[in-house]
Amino acid sequence: MASQHINIHNSGVMSGNVTTAGDMNVMPGGALRVAKTTIGGNLENGGTVQMNSEGGKPGNVLTVNGNYTGNNGLMTFNATLGGDNSPTDKMNV
């Protein structure tokens, strides 16, 4: 996607491998389901940022090149419990 500002409104869902140069705002009731996602600007989370969909496997990556602001939003991560090298989702800001 281009450098547009993306708003995910109530009941709206964006999912998969997403790359945008602009800002993203997940509003209350909205959801961003991440597989391999890069946000070139800022991410404001007032909804749900979910690493992959339910039952997804760990190893998903969300990269935010700007700032992350939590606004009473929810973040979910997948992880495999085991040793130090167990796979997990991660967020790079």
Q: Would you list the domain boundaries of the chain?
A: 6-83
* pLDDT for the residue numbered 35: 87
Among 41, 64, 63, 61, which Cα is nearest to 52's?
61
User: Which pLDDT belongs to residue 57?
Assistant: 84
The pLDDT profile of the chain, 93 residues, written as one tens digit per residue, is: 556 899 999 999 998 888 999 999 999 999 999 888 999 999 999 999 999 855 678 989 999 999 999 999 999 999 889 988 999 999 999
Greatest Cα pair distance, the chain, in angstroms, is 41
What's the confidence (pLDDT) of residue 91?
96
Q: Name every residue whose Cβ is closer than 8 Å to that of residue 55 and which is 6 or more positions away in sequence.
A: none
Can you give the pTM of this predicted structure? 0.88
